[in-house]
Every structure is written in structure tokens, then in C-alpha cells.
Chains A and B, each alone.
Chain A
Amino acid sequence: MLSRVKSGGIFGIDGYIVDVEVDISNGLPVFDIVGLPDLSVRESRERVRAAIKNSGFEFPVKRITVNMAPANTKKEGSAFDLAIAIGILKATEQIPNVDSFDPLFLGELSLDGTLRPVKGVLPMLLSIRNSHKDVILPYSNAEEAANVSEINIYPFHTLKELVSYLRGQYNLTPFQRSDNDDIGFETEFMEDFSDVKGQESVKRALEIAAAGGHNVIMIGPPGSGKTMLAKRIPSILPDLSYKEALEITQIYSVAGLLKEGEGLIRYRPFMSPHHTISSTALVGGGRIPVPGQISLAHHGVLFLDELPEFKKEVLEVLRQPLEDGKITISRAYGTATFPAKFMLVGSANPCNCGYFGSSNGNQECICTPTQIRRYLGKISGPLMDRFDIHIEVPSLSFQKISGNDKGESSASIRARVNKGRERQMERYQEEGIYYNAQLSAKLIRKYCVLDKSARALMEQAFSSMNLSARAYDRILKVSRTIADLEGDKNIQTHHIAEAIQYRSLDRQYWS
């Protein structure tokens, strides 16, 4: 007997349909799987056999051949277990064949017949939502799958339960998301800016960065709180939209990082890889491509602590995704594209010893000028160019001075950031971009127009402060954001004047 059941595979974040064909014929008892299964798929033979037996059904002592079409694509993962088991049960007529109901089966089987969750359910359903309408999957994946409203979701706990449903022993309505109407995003954060005393200058710069989506580099002596500040950036980023949340969840689903029962990621991610990370782990890769840290930071923050300590070639691979907002990985099995739109936050000591410019009575810099130049020089010019805002984080001695009054809460900063971001989205409706950091050179000329006095200030500043030419466009972008935060339609002189202060590393004394 022959049976045919549908399942799905995933490559990158694109799903595709897999037809699982099961043929049972007389002969020596053999269980074979063809159609380029990898080891994890081949192992499913043992799981399927045990699960069928332990659920109280009969496993045929015959020659079983399973084919997975298209046969030229490499199949990976344990999500085909369920489809194979159902195929065998259909081929042995333990389940009736109903032509009108041809759902997709996804799920891993445990030996006792329990359905275990699988990776990549959300992106898979998103890619097939126009061609299929019913999906059967493990209960733990239900919340995640229910984000795709076009598809009827039928979740089950065990194989036995599923078989009795397929035998028509009871009816089921499609699964509904528990919080259908009000999605609600996480606005309470573990880390809040109100915990940070003083550091007003840094907070202001981060507020601007959050509003305009600008990449930031923080420079300061050890122990000045760079990491603490960076961790709080997600709490002031603009509120997450449903579309953004869905994109983040897709990536986490593929990476298998969704927590059990977590249907949707409701917060902006914060990724902080250690500086020993390889370039593959950072941007993604592997024999069958998996997303890297930059994709896991999609719509969130990628924080690279101690930036100069990262391997040079690791940092260089960041340049293209920073420009494109996505990363394309080509491997022998094919090419996968993962989204990677993130805010890059770097931190660095100002020099080897860490105390250059900290002007603190007890600790003084012991580096030679060459060492100082060489330290930040490890970061290549093109990468340095991607940082719109430079923040000098003051040493502890200055923080103490600035009083003990509790800092402003993240919520109230975020309220301003949201307003600023809304103005940008409105303005760029027709341009296909969302925030100021994305402005191209051409769009800068269009949207960052300076009046006479502002232009005069720019010119004066460049000649008297030895700013490098590359700073020009960055200052324009940042001052555009400052104006947006203030609700000003035009860039004023004082917006430019403030923006100039966020270009420390262009100053002569650093280079």
C-alpha cells in the first residue's frame, strides 16, 4: 500500500513543502528513508517505530520505504517524525484516507508517542500560508503557529490523541491564540535607566541614538558603567510593532531559541557576544545555515563590549549587513538570507590601560601616544564610519559629583523617543526607510537642509576643530534626529551645535 502525507522543511528562514510517501510491500522487514535525509532524519526510524508501538498501534513487519520529495533537497531535523508515522499508519489502513482533509504534519515523536516541539514553525507557516490551510503540530508550538491567522492550527499532545481525531472519533475547532486582540508588548524591563545615577550626558546621547536608530560607540575607562548603560538601551528603543515582533520570532524559531509556549517575542533583543566570537557565530553560517548573533539582534541591539579586542576579520564581516540590514550566507546546499537590522553599540577603553583622558587623581594613563593611537586604530576606518554617535563615558569620580537624585525612568525617555520616531516614519513614508540613520547621502541632501547660520556654524566648526570630512554627513543625520526629538521641522543652529559634541573621535587629539 502507498500513502502520501505532507510535511514541511526549512532552509534559512524559508519553508518548503515536503511530500512524505510511504510504501509498504511484502519482503524482508526493512525500514528505509530516501530523499537526502541527514542523520537526524534517518534516526527518526527508531523513534517512529517505538512511538507507534507504544501508542498501541501496529508497526508492520514488512518492507517499508519512505521517500521525501523533492528528493534533491537535503532534509534536516526531527520535524518529519510525525509525518512518517502518520504515513505508515495510513498505508497500513489504521487511519482512513480522507481526501478532503490534507493537513501538514509537523512534530517530533518521543518513544512513548508524545509530540515534542520543533524548530522553525513560524517561518515555515508564513512561507506556505497562501497554499495550505490546515496544520497539525505539537501543542507546545501552537501559540507560535497561531500568529499566522490564515492557517487552521490543530495542536495535539500525543500520537494516540491525534489518531483518534483522524479516525473521526471527535471534532475539534482550530486553535485560537490566547491573547488574540490585545497583543501587548513588554514595557516593563528588568533593567531601567532610573537605576543609573548621573551620567546625564550619556543618557542624552543614547536617547538621540535610540530615536534615530544611530549606531553608537561608547568610550570610557574601566568600571565607568559602559556595559550597564548598554544593557538599558532596549528599554528606551521605540515600541515594538507586531510586524517587527513577528520578524524577530521567526529568527528565534529557526534558531530553536523560543521558550516553550512562547508564541511571540515581545521585547527587543539584546545580544552581547564575547570578543572571542568567530565570524561564523557572529553573522551566521554552518553547513546548513543558521542565524548568527547579528540576526538574533534583529530590531534590537547588538552590543560589542571591548570592540578593539574583537578579531579584525570578525569585525569586518559586520560592514555589509550594517549597510543592507540583512545577511546572505552561501553554502554548498544553497543560499540563505537572514534579516539583520540592528543597532550596533560598541564599547571601548580609550587606550590599553584604559585611563586616557579620565583625568582622575588616582589613576593616570600610562600609555605612550603611539599606544593610544594604535588602540582605537584597531577598529578599521570603514567600520568606525558606521558609528554616528561617539559617547565619552566619564569615570566614576565625575559620576559621584552629579548627585544622588534618582534618574529619569526608561518609560519617560521612551515616550520622547516614540514621538521622535513617529515624526521620522511620517516623513519617510515614501522613501522606504524608517529612521534617520538609514538616510543615504542623496536623502541627506533632501531632508537635512541647513539655513544660512547653521551652515556657517558647520563651516566654522570644521575649520576650527579639525573635524574630518567624514563627520559632515553624520553630524547632519544626528542633528536631524535632535530636531525630531524637539519636534522641530527644520534643523536649527543649536541642533547642529549639539550634534558636533557627539563626534569626539574625529577630533585631532584622538587621531
Chain B
Amino acid sequence: MEQVEERIFWVWLSQIPGIGARRFHVLIEYFGGADRVWFASEEDITGLAPSLGRNVVNEIINQRNNNTLDRIKKMLDSTEFRIITLLDDEYPVLLRQIYDPPPVLYCKGLPIENNHPTISIVGSRRSTAYGRQMAEKFSYELASAGVTIVSGLARGIDAMAHYGALKAEGRTIGVLGCGIDVIYPPENRRLFSKMEQEGTIITEYPPGASPVAGNFPARNRIISGMTRGVLVIEAGEKSGALITVDFALEQGREVYALPGNINVSQSVGTNKLLKEGARLVTEVHDILEDLGLQKEKVENEPKSVQLDFFETQVYNALQEGERHLEELSKITKLDINRLNAVLTMLEVKGIVKQMPGKIFIRNWDA
């Protein structure tokens, strides 16, 4: 019962504007508990004005009313989302250890399991086809081997990392930079609803918080903080993924990077990381080794699909990587009309993928 009470005050204190994770912990230490802040005399709180600032002190005093408390009680009883505080067992183990762990996490989806290794996969929102494919591949294989995949539910690499883990029916956690009830970016709506069913979504921001730019670097500290290591798939020179890397180094986590084409701007960041000593990753085994895990054998076997003569011909033409429709026509000597039909069949069978610009590529997991 007392535990429950204390959680209410934790949530209350964490939601006061102007109080972030650091100030929260300072206040808890100073007063000896969130409930003590609630019951403290006005003079005690006003005395903090020189360090916290006038506005924050006023906010604390103003927010000490029963309406606010009722609102928070309702939040704790909500069926839409759960609230996990630093006091709870479900709180991610590794995240506890960082310098400024978020006191409260809002959470949707499956419960967080703390007895599995975790890796975060991050990268540019503006990504190449190669990057997205690799994000999905590594995520799929890591998740198949039992690793929990953490990422930021953003466009590009993040989204593919989540999709990869979901495809492997593994565990995946998405960390938001906004309220739990805000879907951002909007085109990831489908991914969000899938994550709510088959994965987990968490955030330190209270419901309704909008995705302001300043939230995202702080969100990145949670992504790296929850995991044993960060795998950077693609990052431009000033990519947000590099902020995550900075946090990872600060928090003492491993940094992995995937080498990329030196001509492509999306690889500048990752190649630079490699130069500076990040661990080079070319296969999933490079990471699993560090985590003391074995790669599952199964997923490398080709799917058993029946291909007819033309389909085999086209599939073989894609052996060396991506090909444009016109190139394929040249190589296979098939007319465009037949080739188009064959490619649709291969796409439907799931062994060939189409990229923007009529470029075709083998689907890696086939």
C-alpha cells in the first residue's frame, strides 16, 4: 500500500514542468522521497529558489493540490498504458545504472523482460536501400538469437530495425521522444499498432507531450542506456545516431558500426566511427560473440519456394546485387512485359524486393 502511495508522488513530481531526471534525483535526495516534497513546508521549497529558479519553485507549490493527485491516480489506473517507476522491478536493469535514469516510464505493449541481453540499432532517418535492408537483417538475426532490439521508432533505419525483430517474433522496445499517446512520425502508424501488440513502446514523457526537437537527444540516452551496445547502421556526418553513440560511450556501452560505401553521405558517420575505434560488424556473429550467444542455425537456410524456368533466370540475374528493370531485361533477354510479370511473381513469393526507381534486389532472408 505504501509502495503504491509513493509511486503516486513519484509520478506527480516527475510531471512538474521544469523538473527533469537530474533535478528529480537531486530533490529526492534532498528531501528523502517524493512524498516528502509534497508534504514539505512552503519555506523549505521556496528556499530552493536560488538553485531551481523562481518559476520551478512556484510550479511545485501550485501543483500541490488534490486535483493533480486525482489526475495522476487515474493515470496509474489507466488501461491505455502502464506506468513503471524506478521503484518497480520491471524497470530496465541497465537503465538504472546510468547517471540520470528517467524516474518514470510510460509503457504500452508487452512487459519488459530484464533477463535477456539487449542491443540497440540506430541510424539515419534518411537512409539508403542498403541501410534499411541491413537494419532489418541484423535486427531479424539478433532477435532470432534471443536479443531484445531497442530503437527509436523513427523513420528509416529505426523502423526497419523494429520490423526485423517483429518478423523474427522476437522482443523489441521502441523509445519515444513524445507522449505515449502521440504517434510520431505519423507514417509509422502501422508500426506503432504492431509494436503495441507484439512489442513494447516506452517513453519518459507524460501523455500528450508533443515531439519537440529537444526531446530526442534525451530519448537517445534511454536507447543506449537500456542496452549492452549500440549498432549504428547508417549515419550521416551530423546524424542523431551519433548522439546516441556519445551517450553509449558516456554510459560505457559497446559501439558497433556497419561499414558503408565511402561515396555515400549516409555512411560518412559510420565509417568515421570505425576509424575512431568502433567495433566493425559484418555479420551478426560479431555482436553475439560479445553477448555470449550463439547464432541460430535455422534462419540461413533458403526458403523452399518453387520457381519456374523464367523465375529462376531472373532470380539468378540478381545474384550480384541490385539491378534495374532495364538491366534485367538486357541480362535475361526477356521482353519487358514478360519480365514485369515474372518480377511480380517473385515479389509475391517474397524472394525479390522492389526499391524506388524500378530497382530490384534479392530479399535477404530467402
Residues on A close to B: CB < 8 A?
A: 198-201, 203-204, 350, 356-359, 361, 364, 366-370, 373, 392, 394-395, 398-399, 401-403, 457, 460-461, 464-465, 482, 494-498, 500-502, 504, 507, 509-511
B329 touches A392 (CB 8 A): no
Set of chain A residues within 8 Å of B330, measured between Cβ atoms: 401-403
A505 to B336, CA, bound (A): 19
**A201-B336, A392-B357, A501-B343 known; A369 and B325 CB under 8 Å?**
no
A504 touches B358 (CB 8 A): yes
**A201-B325, A494-B341 known; A359 and B357 CB under 8 Å?**
yes
A15 to B300, CA, bound (A): 76
CB<8 Å pairs between A and B, sample of 27: A198-B326, A200-B329, A201-B326, A201-B336, A203-B336, A204-B337, A204-B340, A350-B357, A357-B357, A370-B185, A392-B356, A394-B324, A394-B325, A394-B358, A399-B326, A401-B324, A402-B326, A461-B344, A464-B347, A494-B341, A497-B341, A498-B337, A498-B338, A498-B340, A498-B344, A501-B343, A502-B340
B357 touches A460 (CB 8 A): no
B156 touches A369 (CB 8 A): yes
A509 touches B324 (CB 8 A): no
Set of chain B residues within 8 Å of A502, measured between Cβ atoms: 340
Nearest Cβ in chain A — how far from B124, in angstroms?
A: 10
Least CB separation from B127: chain A residue? A369
A373 touches B326 (CB 8 A): no
Nearest Cβ in chain B — how far from A102, in angstroms?
A: 62
Set of chain A residues within 8 Å of B329, measured between Cβ atoms: 200-201, 402
- Sample of 5 further A-B pairs with CB below 8 A, known A201-B358, A501-B341, A502-B340: A359-B324, A398-B324, A401-B330, A494-B338, A509-B355
A366 to B126, CA, bound (A): 9
Set of chain B residues within 8 Å of A507, measured between Cβ atoms: 354
A368 to B236, CA, bound (A): 12
Which secondary structure dominates chain A's binding surface?
helix
Set of chain B residues within 8 Å of A509, measured between Cβ atoms: 355-356
Nearest Cβ in chain A — how far from B30, in angstroms?
A: 43
Query: How many A-B pairs with Cβ below 8 Å?
Result: 108
Interface size class of chain B, counting residues whose CB lies under 8 Å from the partner chain: 35 or more
Least CB separation from A485: chain B residue? B337
Nearest Cβ in chain B — how far from A395, in angstroms?
A: 8
A401 touches B326 (CB 8 A): yes
Nearest Cβ in chain A — how far from B191, in angstroms?
A: 11
Nearest Cβ in chain B — how far from A202, in angstroms?
A: 9
Q: For B341, give its contact among A350, A357, A358, A498 (CB under 8 Å).
A: A498
Q: Is B263 close to A, CB under 8 A? A: yes
Q: For B348, give its contact among A203, A350, A465 (CB under 8 Å).
A: A465
B187 touches A501 (CB 8 A): no
Set of chain A residues within 8 Å of B155, measured between Cβ atoms: 369
A357 touches B340 (CB 8 A): no
Q: Is B250 close to A, CB under 8 A? A: no
Q: For B355, give its contact among A200, A357, A497, A498 (CB under 8 Å).
A: A357
A496 to B336, CA, bound (A): 14
B125 touches A510 (CB 8 A): no
Least CB separation from B155: chain A residue? A369
A204 to B329, CA, bound (A): 12
Set of chain B residues within 8 Å of A366, measured between Cβ atoms: 265
A199 to B265, CA, bound (A): 29
A511 to B155, CA, bound (A): 12
Nearest Cβ in chain A — how far from B350, in angstroms?
A: 6
Set of chain B residues within 8 Å of A373, measured between Cβ atoms: 187
Set of chain A residues within 8 Å of B359, measured between Cβ atoms: 357, 359
Q: For A204, give its contact among B125, B336, B343, B355 (CB under 8 Å).
A: B336
